[in-house]
Structure 1
Amino acid sequence: MQNLIQEQAWPPAPVYETVRHPMRRRSLSVAAVDYLTPHTIRITLTGPDLTDFTSASADDHVKVFLPGADGVEVRRDYTPRRYSQEEATLVLDFVNHQAGPAVTWARAARVGAPLDIGGPKGSRVIAGTVAQWLLVGDETALPAIARRVEELPAPVTVTTVVAVPGPEDEQNFATAASHDAHWVHRPMAQADQAQALVAALGEVSIAPGTFVWVGAEAHVARAVRQYLLKERCVPARWMKVAGYWIMGQENAAVRDMADF
């Protein structure tokens, strides 16, 4: 009964709208390679094909086309971290972790190297304004979290709770919003364990009307969702929770944790 009363204190949930984009493959080249942190390789891409590129939501995904170990092309999803139409550049951040086709390519990337991308095929955007945000995730979700924080205007307030391997992997975000950052340090080998992230959330205030976005390893994302639903009484309609990856499975994800 108490949970129902607390949930009823929340205002009507924001409405998502889907924006469709024309799909085509774009041939780009590497303009810059930077090791942003020990576990983040930032690749800046450029090319005339970016002229009509569109990404309307901070958690959009593009398909990156990469050579596989057997020579067969593979596809991976990456968040457009930053796009500049004026400079014709698109920034993608790659997590520098265990070997795979994406990080193998990123480690070897040099200026001038070619890379094809496709999408995003669509964006899920919230109609209207959300005044308070809580963004939760790990290093794989940092591009979406950072982009959201940087794009939020004043006087919006945003709290981030992000798990990374260590203090050297923390990032700074420039934003007009009021931003409160919380960092959780844990080794990559424990990226499928939610205890530290849930404990950090216990120290965070979640007022009615706060939109909660979660992106992390699927088991962690599910545990965080259950904690928010049961312990913090956040209504499901005020959350968007995704499993960006699954420990031990290649190229696996869960877009909607309600189904996991």
Structure 2
Amino acid sequence: MSSDTPVSRVQRVRHELKRRSVEVVRVETLSPHFRSITFTGEALGDFVSSSFDDHVKFMFDEDTAEPVRRDYTPRRYDTAARELTIEFAVHSEGRAAQWAAQARPGQQVTIGGPRGSFIIPTDFDWHLLVGDETALPAINRRLEELPAGSRAIVVLQVADVADRRDLASAADIDMQWVETADAMLDAVRALDLPGGDGYAWCAGEANSMASLRRLLVEEKGMDRHAMRVAAYWKRNASAHHENLAD
């Protein structure tokens, strides 16, 4: 086991906060309820995303009193092409989801950030990744980043089987798909977590994530510094994003 504590091994990096005007260049349907939208623009020339759980502020106006401002994970970024890809869940009735459902090349939006990055090393003995469909892009990106020889335990709550996809990784993956928040908690509760130096990253609905954090700390005995738990959304609230544990 590493002599460093988990909290000392992660790194916080601040980035210069910028707003960038970008244009839709490609739209791809990934599954019935997910669309991948790629943006381009000269303003992306100095874009930086150092961590899989970074978030950018996606912004557009609809000639209404309340412009749309929502947080999304940078799924991938191509420096040479100056292209940024974001994956949107489009089954909800939210305004950003509605925009994504009709997105087409040539449309203009604004991207803000990332404000900073929380960089979790890839060399932990094991990685626990848990979340609902809003966490799917970040978990997908993380799995792509993990090197051969690493171990990932993944529990993903995605109700529609048609939205579940193969997640590529060089790591050794133990994957579970579940349909509900309760099933997600039950799956984590049933895990026999490995020994050694591990780290848990979890994201999803606020109440579910609060319960998951308690489960990991109180039932699984994990160090609260060996996890990052984020509320990506909250039932009956809009534009909610909160880190429950660092």
- TM (norm. structure 1) is 0.87
Equivalence for 1:212: 200
> CA separation in 1, counterparts of 2:65 and 2:107?
17
Residues 1:96 and 1:211: Cα distance change in structure 2 (over 3 Å): same
Structure 1: where are the runs of 5+ without partners? 1-9, 187-193
Partner Cα separation in structure 2 for residue 39 and residue 55 of structure 1 = 25
Does 2:120 correspond to 1:126?
yes
Whole-angstrom distance in 1 between the partners of 2:163 and 2:63: 29
Task: Choose 247-256 or 217-226, whichever is displaced more.
Answer: 247-256
Pick from 130, 135, 138: which aligns with 2:132?
Answer: 138
Counterpart selection for 2:98 from 104, 107, 132: 104
Q: How does 1:33-182 map to 2 (within 5 A)?
A: 33-68=27-62, 70-126=64-120, 129-182=123-176
SS of the aligned residue for 1:225 comes to helix
TM-fit CA distance, 1:253: 2.7
Q: Which moved more, 1:200-209 or 1:243-252?
A: 200-209
Q: Contact 2:36–2:87 at 8 Å: present in 1 too?
A: yes
- The residue aligned with 2:6 is 13
Amino acid at match of 1:217: E
Deviations 1:32-81 (A, max 9, x none): 11221122121111122111110001000101112247254231111101
**Percent of pairs identical after alignment?**
39
Aligned residues: 244
Q: Measure, in 2, the Cα distance between the counterparts of 1:147 and 1:124.
A: 14
Q: State the one-letter code of the partner of 1:245.
A: W
Distance 1:98 1:122 in 2: 28
What pairs with 1:182-201 in structure 2 (closer than 5 Å)?
182-186=176-180, 194-201=181-188
Q: Are 1:247 and 2:224 an aligned pair?
A: no
Out of 130-139 and 44-53, give the one that drifted further: 44-53
User: Aligned letter for 1:240?
Assistant: R
Shift of 1:139: 0.4
CA distance in 2, matches of 1:128, 1:254: 23
| Residue 171 of structure 1: how far off its partner (Å) | 2.0
Could you say if the C-alpha distance between residues 105 and 57 of structure 1 is closer, same or farther in structure 2, counting changes exceeding 3 Å? same
The one-letter amino acid of 1:146's match is N
Judge which range, 139-148 or 227-236, deviates more.
227-236
Deviates more, 1:157-166 or 1:199-208: 199-208
Task: Say whether the 8 Å CA contact 2:205–2:232 is kept in structure 1.
Answer: yes
CA distance in 2, matches of 1:175, 1:152: 7
AA in 1 matched with 2:199: F
Secondary structure, aligned partner of 1:220: helix
Q: Structure 1 residues 93, 254: CA separation in 2 closer, same or farther (over 3 Å shift)?
A: same
Matched letter for residue 12 of structure 1: T
Deviation at 1:251, TM superposition (A): 1.2
SS at match of 2:49: coil
Give the equivalent residue in structure 1 for 2:213: 225
What is the aligned-residue RMSD (CA, Å)? Answer: 2.2
- Secondary structure of 2:243 counterpart: coil
Amino acid at match of 2:42: P
Task: Give the letter aligned to residue 97 of structure 1.
Answer: H
Contact 1:131–1:155 (CA under 8 A) maintained in structure 2: no
TM, length-normalised to structure 2? 0.92
Matched, 1:27 2:21: yes
